[in-house]
Structure 1
Amino acid sequence: MSKTVAGCIWACVLAASMVSWSQAPDLQSMDLVLRSVPDGPIAKINGQNIAKEEFISLYQTELLAVTSRVGSKNVDDRLRVETALHSLRTLLQHEILYQEAIKRKLAVSEKELDAQWKEAMTRLETTVERAGDKDLSEEDILKKAGKTREESRAELRKSLLIRKMRDQIAAEKKITVSDADVAGFYEKNKAEFKQPERIHIEQIFVAARKGPRDPDDPKKKEQARQKIEQALKRVQAGESFSAVAKAMSDAPDASKGGDMGMLPVTQLPPIYVKAAASMRPGDISGILESEYGFHFIRLVELASASDADPQKAHAFIRSLLMAQESDKAVAEFCQTTFDTPGAVEVYLQLEKTIATTPGLEGLLPDRNQQEAGPKKTGNRSASKPSDTEKKPESRAKKPVKP
């Protein structure tokens, strides 16, 4: 695992809790997974509870990634359950690794923690800026997430200890990836590494409403139209695009002069792509209207679709294959705990949900292979995790372009 992965996971979960799901539907009333969450802990490993809040945060973060991948928030029940099983497995493994790290007396220095904290907060600032919140302090960001600085640093320290434990397991297994492995993977997945058409654009945006669901306000819309016209006139008169963007744009990148950077066309608003198709580098578009307000763009550069840089692709593939081998080693390491009677207790009622929801039967293991009776813990019935809960199948990892 790379040095920043643990911090990335922590930052993504924290960001999701304060940004992404603020506009999501009420999952508690519709999500069969969240209806399976108990009032108490989600699981217990060697007597240590895993809080339901940890599961909900990670599940919602991973579900958000799924909705982004499928292009819709209407995710079917099977995919929700598969996501939940993956989240549950991740939390169980993390707790096992954390306990082992403590047992081995691994430590995270204040210097390491400070460095990772700085990187994580930078990522969070970028995330909230993209969501429309600008110039937020560290205190503001943590307040939006409902976390104190001490709580957040403790969670980050735990994530870093887990990463160190993963690294130790990988080192003990002497995991390596050969040049032949890398080359073979590249040849089999060459199409996945093609660079799509990319466009470098600068934008100026004036909001007419906060979102497409907000009621249309003719007065505010007219004010926005007048403001964008003023901005365009200033640019056409020779004023720096960057200066006008900083002064007048409502876009998250206004502080950077409206520079969106070089992006694949699939990541840009369709109205920008359509406008850029008839432009040459240096051209300024006319005023474009969207459901959010008014825009105009400056085309900086166009890049045609092309093959990826083999050197960069190979570096990425090596990292990917190393991570996959490390995942296998970690799974093998954690299996010892899963196989220890009484070590792991799961209270999430996913098995019941799967059994009673049409179309999900295939996610259950063979009943003949399950243990006969549940163990009683207090007033709750907690059986040893079934194979479904302990070792949910990982979703296929499609190569991500470097």
Structure 2
Amino acid sequence: MRKIHHFAKTAFAALCLIALSVSAYAQTPVQRKVDGIIAKVDNHVILRSDLEFGYLQYLSQSKQQPSEELKCQLFTSLLQDKLLLARAEIDSVTVEEPMVSSELDRRIQYLASQVGGVERLEQYYNKSVRQLKDELRKTIKEQLVMEKMQQQITGKVTVTPKEIKKYFNAIPADSLPYFSSEVEIGQIVKHAQVSRQQKQEAREKLEALRQRILAGEDFATLAKQYSQDPGSAAAGGELGFFKKKELVPEYEAAALRLEPGGISNVIESQFGFHLIQLIERKGQEFNTRHILIKPATATVDVEETIAELDSIRTLIVNDSISFAKAAKEFSDDKNTKDNGGMLMSRATGSTYIPMDQVDPSIFFVIDTMQVGDISKPIPFTTEDGREAVRIVSLKSKSKPHLANLKDDYQKIANAALGQKRSKAVDAWFRKNIGTVYIEIDPEYQDCGGLQQLMQ
């Protein structure tokens, strides 16, 4: 039987947990009432909707055919999750709030990239980023706790070369995977900047509003009329209470310099230009309202960005700086700049990407490149709709082939390690399942994988 384990479905879990959370808080109270509990593990429950939604998500990700066996395996995996959480409470395993906040930021950025930016994300769910974070926080925190528990269980699990070879030799010859051509790709991205004139126009518009407020007009009323922040404009620009380091640094610094009721000068952040009013301080938290004006983006200076990247490319080609160092120093792409500019496979987390999964805008660039080449600057549009330019480096390219130990040793080693870690999790599950209260709906008590683990 093919088992679904945490380590075999890392990418799926990252996406599915977000979707489960969003699905859960998007349901109406009536829908939640109809939803049933199918398992309890101490204070933690599994809802029927959790299983059904996760099942559909897994089918769409894995392209497998629907089956009750597969649903049973997923139920067992969800039960393992709840046992991890229950044991974490008993063993006092926790995660720090800054880690939770950092992961929330990463998840929100990912969701925003899928729908075309933060504004569209807020419009799609009709909620501010702060509200989305509040509703996702518990789920993200639980996932981080589970990961910490998994690390304690499997952190010392390793595989020897002998075990890797044994694992590979156990695969029937007619079941060896066929690897298509894979590439390693690096990129350095620069966002095209709004022209100075457009920035100046946005700044002047806010300066005029500031003078009107200082002359006696109501800040909240003007925010409703003019602010371009869809998440707060309707509320008179009010953001609600935030702790330090939860807002962009420029905004926070300006806000914390104010006394309650005070109005800031015009300040610039990655979102545009802000006029800020401090409403109230409460301990370590503060509440503000703002008016956001974004520079018009009809014209960005792409040619200047091309020239800048061309100069960076020349430095790399002349060996004055490595591609990895240039990516870290100059790239605007947060997802790749800190790992040498390398693109990662969303499915596996590896730098090796099958050619049929390469973004089309990059595929046609590298298709004519030789390994080691660096492309000329290429204009493109980012996932959140920004105009940008990038240079691309083709680090490596493999030929299609059947899996073998020589060419695919690391992949086989990872698979062998994953199998061994899965066995360690199963052993831990069997050892600890009797240490917590568990109640399972009769419909799922006969799941094959569950019975094996509970024996």
User: Which structure has the bigger radius of gyration?
Assistant: 2
